[in-house]
């Protein structure tokens, strides 16, 4: 939970840099004028996201999304990390095709549809862009900032829309008394939250209600959220811990559900936006989260699933960095080179302890020297990352 | 103006202009590089003293021992040789500024962008240089890591004198306080200035090196110049009476600096540092009779005179006996076993500090002496002296050696170059 940096970070755009902010209704980038583009037809159905082509030469690509379901759908083009949004169209009504026009450099991408606009989506598939030899026409800085911020909002919405059902799945197991399943789902459901935690922190009371640790709560105040349930699932030994009653469990689960929905509604509000410096500060804030809470084992003192949070924080920071990377690259190539390298090193180092897909080692299984090595990696990245915002707004 | 051209002696506020006369130059006699100010109590080098960072030798060795210490040992990360040189270059630039009372980086603590963290952490803002010296050393594992790897192409440059210290009888070393690839000794008369130096240098190192262990020292336990009053250690005894003093040119040149022609040419003008964290069981000591305390040390507790008679600076007479025929200076007295006369003339330039790291689980003060000694060759100086002490010293009942490290301290850097450049540029 909370770090001062992050709280200041992803606050809704205001002040000097607000001119860089945008509203969610900024139109998609228009086609560049060089005349040549690749057209891809997308058909969103209840359980598939069929694309007419899975490759394209670098340059302009126009996706035409047709909704063949009976509910509103969305289409996302994701970067090779499967997280960062490169382009998206939302609110695609049945029978009314929409287009997404993007300028793509060579590389690996993913296409995915999200009927009902919630959950992890269906039909996620690789989309490969090959080098065409043609230089990608870059749009002006202003419009790149606009596009970056818009895509970041889309990413945030994608994450919360996956957080909601993941939380429901976790709580269903918990309330059904299926402790083993609940314990397994706990860290993976939280990953959607941990990737975008600074956002929750920007909405006043939401983060404390969702993610306070026991030690964060003042005497006399009520402790709610993820960690309240964590303690009930991993009760402390020999400490006279009284398990929650069925009624209490229902109450805490309902509260978590309500707060999570509030978060989702807030991020999905039509006027929700973030400024470009808030994005880079979000990256810094997420790594601060790792440095102050996860690397010390304080965040998950009952479950010891700190490395899951660490991974999600790191992914969230990387996404935010990638959003602004191309803006910083021409202005401060040395910083970008350092950050690329140190993100890579830390990702590799953490991967040595597991993955979100297969699980990580528990914090209390790590040796002091392993923790120190991770802390060194976090510091190595955190120091140059702290200079990102200045480079972005420069 | 580049960082290195900054006028020496200017305080962080730009006041205290008198320090501008800073001084000393390389090669002027011995390295008494203290900026000379009139001093009343010869207890410290003075808040407004400033010492040049560049010179033939590193500062912080023969410099009049300052009152405060922050020492840190570092592990170097998995980086390249050029990254290591980059680190030393960055450390040199920052140290050259901090020792002159300036903040780190061109923008300092408050002159930079509002959207970026400041270059300097700021807690020394408005404080003068306070006699700050920053001294760097290279540990054995920089040359060859514990598993035998030659990480930086330096294995064949390791000086023979940079030995792995042997296990001494009674050593109770804790892994948390042993070794290190690099070290930084920051000494100042203001503890905040010393801490500021280590804090900023370790920040600069993130991603390239990280602190392995560190030690704060709150009071010097040696004098390194004749003007300084001999301080007391936590046993309550004067310590360092017979220390090598900066003014003793022959002693300094013969026992502290590595001369041209010693084994490793790149170390010429440098020295070797042995650091030992010595825990004192002071509670036990404090309930020991004065007679026994003085017998253990071999000196009178009040004036510091040897028990053979005279005053503090009188030569001890190791043959003198009392009426019963017993040695006035006990055969196991610390003074006797540590004395050059008992060690083939071996001497050390000691620069240790008292420490209290809170308390232990038993409610005892975690206190002692952080021993720092500079020398030309540990093989003929620290090692034989410590072998003699470890075996017989009556003081062993009251002390435990819990930390240990050895470092090659390269010569001083020249302006435009970096600390340790002679090691990398054959």
A49: Cα separation from own chain's centroid: 22
**pLDDT score for A116:** 86
Question: Touching check for A379 and chain B: CB below 8 Å?
Answer: yes
Supply the Cα-derived Rg of chain B in whole angstroms. 21
What does each C-alpha distance from B263 to A82, B182, B348 come to in angstroms?
58, 21, 19
- The H-assigned helical ranges of B110-237 are 140-143, 191-205
Kindly determine whether residue B77 and residue A342, on different chains, have CB atoms separated by under 8 Å: no
**What residue has token string 């922190």?**
A201
B382: Cα separation from own chain's centroid: 14
Question: In tens digits, what is the pLDDT along chain A, a chain of 394 residues?
Answer: 544 444 444 443 333 333 333 333 333 443 344 457 899 999 999 999 999 999 999 888 899 999 999 888 999 999 988 888 888 888 888 888 888 888 888 899 999 999 988 888 899 999 999 987 765 555 566 677 888 888 899 999 999 999 999 999 999 999 999 999 999 999 999 999 999 998 888 887 889 999 999 998 998 899 999 999 999 999 998 778 999 999 999 999 999 999 999 999 999 999 898 988 889 999 999 999 999 889 999 999 999 999 999 999 999 999 999 999 988 999 999 999 999 999 999 999 999 999 999 999 999 999 999 999 999 999 999 999 999 999 988 7
Among all residues of chain B, which has the CA nearest to that of A377? Answer: B207
Contact partners, residue A386, CB within 8 Å, separation at least 6: A284, B116, B117
pLDDT of residue B44 exceeding 90, the answer is: no
> Given B113, B115, B210, which is nearest A376 (Cβ)?
B210
Query: Are A13 and A37 members of one domain?
Result: no
> Given A372, A375, A387, which is nearest B116 (Cβ)?
A387
Question: Strand, coil or helix: what is A38?
Answer: strand
Query: Are A14 and A49 members of one domain?
Result: no
CB B326 within 8 A of CB B344: no
> What are the chain B neighbours of A277 within 8 Å (beta carbons)?
115
Give the domain range for residue A209. 4-20+147-393
A35: Cα separation from own chain's centroid: 35
What does each C-alpha distance from A329 to A32, A333, B86, B202 come to in angstroms?
22, 5, 22, 27
pLDDT tens-place string over residues B128-162:
999 999 999 999 999 999 899 999 999 999 999 99
Query: Are A94 and A194 members of one domain?
Result: no
Q: Which residues pair with A39 in a beta bridge?
A: A62
What is the CB-side half-sphere exposure of residue A210 using CA atoms within 13 A? 30
Query: Are A120 and A54 members of one domain?
Result: yes
Question: Touching check for A291 and chain B: CB below 8 Å?
Answer: no
Kindly determine whether residue B210 and residue A379, on different chains, have CB atoms separated by under 8 Å: yes
Q: Kind of pairing, strands A55-57 and A122-130?
A: parallel
Residue A256: Cβ within 10 Å count: 23
Contact partners, residue B377, CB within 8 Å, separation at least 6: B161, B258, B262, B272
Between CA A57 and CA A330 the distance in angstroms is 24
Low-confidence winner among B88-92, B228-232, B372-376 (lowest mean pLDDT)? B228-232
Kindly determine whether residue B207 and residue A389, on different chains, have CB atoms separated by under 8 Å: no
**Domain end call among A108, A138, A168:** A138
Kindly determine whether residue A379 and residue B117, on different chains, have CB atoms separated by under 8 Å: no
DSSP labels for A301-333? TTT--HHHHHHHHHHHHHHHHHHHHHHHTTT-H
**pLDDT score for B219:** 92
Kindly determine whether residue B77 and residue A376, on different chains, have CB atoms separated by under 8 Å: yes
What burial class does residue B2 get, using C-beta atoms within 10 Å of its C-beta: 0-12 exposed, 13-18 middle, 19+ buried?
A: exposed
Question: Touching check for A7 and chain B: CB below 8 Å?
Answer: no
pLDDT of residue B56 exceeding 50, the answer is: yes
Between CA A80 and CA B17 the distance in angstroms is 59
pLDDT tens-place string over residues B352-408:
999 999 999 999 999 999 999 999 999 999 999 999 999 899 999 999 999 999 999
**pLDDT score for B26:** 35
Query: Are A11 and A117 members of one domain?
Result: no
Domain of A65: which CATH number? 2.60.40.420
**pLDDT score for A60:** 84
Between CA B34 and CA B64 the distance in angstroms is 7
**A278-282, B47-51, B67-71: which is most confident:** B67-71
Phi/psi at A250 (nearest 5 deg)? Answer: -60, -40
> Given B77, B113, B207, which is nearest A383 (Cβ)?
B207
pLDDT of residue B95 exceeding 50, the answer is: yes
**A194-198, B1-5, B240-244, B267-271: which is most confident:** B267-271
**Nearest residue to A394 via CA among A329, A334, A328, A337:** A328
Query: Are A351 and A225 members of one domain?
Result: yes
A-B contacts (CB, under 8 Å): 31
A contact test, residue of B200, B207, B210, B211 with most A CBs within 10 A:
B207
A107-113 sheet: strands from edge to edge: A55-57, A122-130, A107-113, A73-78, A85-92
B contact test, residue of A339, A376, A389 with most B CBs within 10 A:
A376
Query: Are A264 and A308 members of one domain?
Result: yes
Q: At what angle are helices A179-195 and A141-175 packed, to 10 degrees?
A: 160
Query: Are A158 and A265 members of one domain?
Result: yes
Contact partners, residue B232, CB within 8 Å, separation at least 6: B221, B238, B239
CB A77 within 8 A of CB A64: no
Low-confidence winner among B2-16, B91-105, B222-236 (lowest mean pLDDT)? B2-16
What does each C-alpha distance from A152 to A90, A372, B17, B130, B224 come to in angstroms?
14, 32, 53, 49, 61
CB B256 within 8 A of CB B268: no
**Domain end call among A138, A156, A178:** A138
Among all residues of chain A, which has the CA nearest to that of B74? Answer: A376
**pLDDT score for A40:** 95
Task: Give me the long-range contacts of A245-254 (CB less than 8 A, separation at least 24).
Answer: A249/A174, A249/A175, A250/A175, A252/A224, A252/A225, A252/A228, A253/A171, A253/A174, A253/A175, A253/A229
* Domains of chain B by residue range: 1-426
**pLDDT score for A146:** 83
Query: Are A266 and A373 members of one domain?
Result: yes
Among all residues of chain A, which has the CA nearest to that of B209? Answer: A376
**What residue has token string 């002679």?**
B422
B215: Cα separation from own chain's centroid: 11
Kindly determine whether residue A387 and residue B207, on different chains, have CB atoms separated by under 8 Å: no
pLDDT of residue B3 exceeding 50, the answer is: no
Query: Are A373 and A236 members of one domain?
Result: yes
**pLDDT score for A90:** 85
**Domain end call among A138, A159, A178:** A138
> What are the chain A neighbours of B115 within 8 Å (beta carbons)?
277, 389-390, 393
Between CA A171 and CA A249 the distance in angstroms is 9
Between CA A160 and CA A267 the distance in angstroms is 8
Low-confidence winner among A28-37, B68-77, B94-103, B260-269 (lowest mean pLDDT)? A28-37
**pLDDT score for A138:** 52
- The H-assigned helical ranges of B213-330 are 249-255, 282-286, 290-297
Count of the separate structural domains present in chain A: 2
Query: Are A256 and A367 members of one domain?
Result: yes
């Amino acid at each position: 939970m909370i770090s001062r940096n992050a709280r200041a970070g992803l606050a809704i755009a205001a002040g000097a840099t607000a001119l860089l902010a945008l509203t969610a209704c900024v139109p998609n980038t228009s086609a560049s004028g060089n005349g040549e583009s690749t057209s891809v037809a997308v058909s969103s159905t209840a359980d598939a996201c069929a694309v007419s082509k899975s490759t394209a030469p670098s340059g302009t690509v126009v996706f035409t999304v047709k909704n063949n379901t009976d509910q509103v759908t969305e289409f996302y083009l994701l970067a090779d990390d499967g997280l960062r949004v490169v382009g998206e169209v939302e609110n695609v009504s049945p029978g009314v095709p929409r287009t997404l026009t993007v300028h793509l450099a060579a590389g690996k991408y993913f296409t995915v549809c999200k009927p009902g606009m919630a959950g992890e989506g269906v039909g996620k598939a690789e989309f490969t862009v090959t080098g065409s030899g043609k230089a990608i026409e870059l749009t002006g800085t202003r419009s790149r900032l606009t596009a970056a911020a818009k895509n970041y909002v889309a990413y945030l919405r994608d994450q919360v829309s996956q957080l909601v059902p993941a939380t429901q799945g976790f709580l269903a197991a918990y309330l059904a008394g299926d402790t083993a399943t609940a314990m397994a789902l706990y860290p993976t459901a939280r990953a959607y939250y941990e990737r975008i935690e600074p956002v929750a922190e920007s909405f006043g009371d939401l983060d404390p209600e969702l993610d306070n640790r026991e030690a964060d709560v003042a005497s006399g105040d009520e402790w709610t959220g993820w960690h309240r349930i964590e303690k009930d699932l991993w009760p402390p030994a020999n400490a006279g811990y009284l398990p929650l009653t069925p009624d209490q469990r229902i109450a805490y689960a309902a509260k978590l559900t309500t707060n999570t929905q509030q978060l989702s509604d807030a991020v999905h509000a039509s006027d929700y936006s973030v400024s470009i410096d808030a994005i880079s500060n979000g990256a810094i804030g997420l790594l601060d989260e790792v440095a102050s809470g996860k690397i010390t084992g304080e965040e998950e003192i009952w479950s010891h699933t700190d490395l899951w949070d660490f991974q999600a924080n790191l992914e969230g920071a990387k996404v935010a960095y990638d959003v602004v990377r191309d803006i910083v690259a021409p202005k401060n190539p040395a910083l970008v080179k350092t950050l690329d390298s140190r993100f890579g090193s830390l990702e590799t180092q953490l991967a040595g302890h597991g993955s979100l897909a297969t699980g990580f080692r528990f914090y209390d299984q790590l040796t002091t020297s392993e923790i120190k090595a991770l802390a060194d990696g976090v510091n190595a990245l955190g120091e140059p990352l702290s200079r990102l915002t200045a480079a972005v707004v420069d | 103006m580049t960082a290195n051209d900054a006028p020496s002696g200017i305080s962080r506020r730009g006041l205290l202009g008198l320090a501008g006369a800073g001084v000393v130059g390389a090669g002027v006699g011995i390295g008494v590089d203290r900026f000379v100010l009139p001093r009343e109590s010869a207890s410290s080098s003075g808040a407004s003293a400033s010492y040049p960072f560049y010179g033939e030798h590193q500062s912080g060795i023969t410099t009049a021992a300052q009152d405060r210490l922050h020492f840190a040992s570092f592990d170097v990360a998995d980086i390249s040789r050029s990254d290591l040189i980059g680190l030393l270059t960055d450390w040199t630039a920052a140290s050259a500024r901090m020792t002159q009372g300036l903040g780190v980086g061109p923008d300092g603590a408050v002159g930079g962008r509002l959207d970026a963290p400041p270059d300097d952490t700021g807690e020394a803002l408005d404080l003068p240089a306070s006699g700050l010296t920053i001294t760097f050393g290279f540990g054995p594992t920089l040359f060859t890591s514990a598993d035998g790897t030659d990480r930086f192409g330096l294995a064949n440059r390791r000086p023979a004198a940079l030995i792995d210290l042997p296990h001494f009888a009674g050593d109770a070393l804790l892994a948390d306080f042993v070794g290190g690839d690099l070290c930084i000794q920051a000494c100042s008369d203001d503890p905040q200035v010393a801490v500021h130096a280590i804090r900023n240098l370790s920040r600069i190192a993130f991603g390239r090196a990280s602190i392995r262990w560190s030690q704060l020292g709150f009071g010097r336990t040696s004098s390194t110049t004749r003007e300084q009053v001999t301080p007391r250690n936590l046993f309550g005894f004067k310590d360092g009476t017979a220390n090598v003093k900066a003014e003793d040119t022959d002693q300094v040149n013969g026992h502290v600096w590595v001369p041209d022609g010693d084994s490793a040419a790149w170390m010429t003008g440098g020295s070797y540092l042995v650091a030992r964290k010595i825990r004192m069981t002071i509670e036990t000591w404090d309930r020991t009779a004065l007679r026994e305390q003085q017998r253990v040390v071999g000196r009178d507790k009040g004036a510091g005179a040897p028990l053979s008679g005279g005053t503090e600076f009188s030569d001890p007479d190791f043959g003198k006996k009392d009426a019963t025929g017993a040695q006035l200076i006990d055969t196991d007295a610390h003074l006797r076993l540590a004395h050059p006369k008992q060690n083939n003339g071996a001497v050390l330039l000691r620069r240790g500090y008292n420490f209290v790291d809170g308390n232990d689980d038993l409610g005892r003060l975690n206190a002692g002496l952080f021993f720092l000694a500079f020398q030309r060759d540990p093989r003929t100086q620290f090692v034989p002296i410590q072998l003699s002490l470890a075996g017989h010293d009556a003081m062993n009942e009251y002390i435990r050696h819990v930390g240990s490290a050895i470092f090659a301290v390269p010569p001083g850097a020249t302006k435009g170059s970096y600390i340790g450049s002679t090691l990398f540029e054959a």
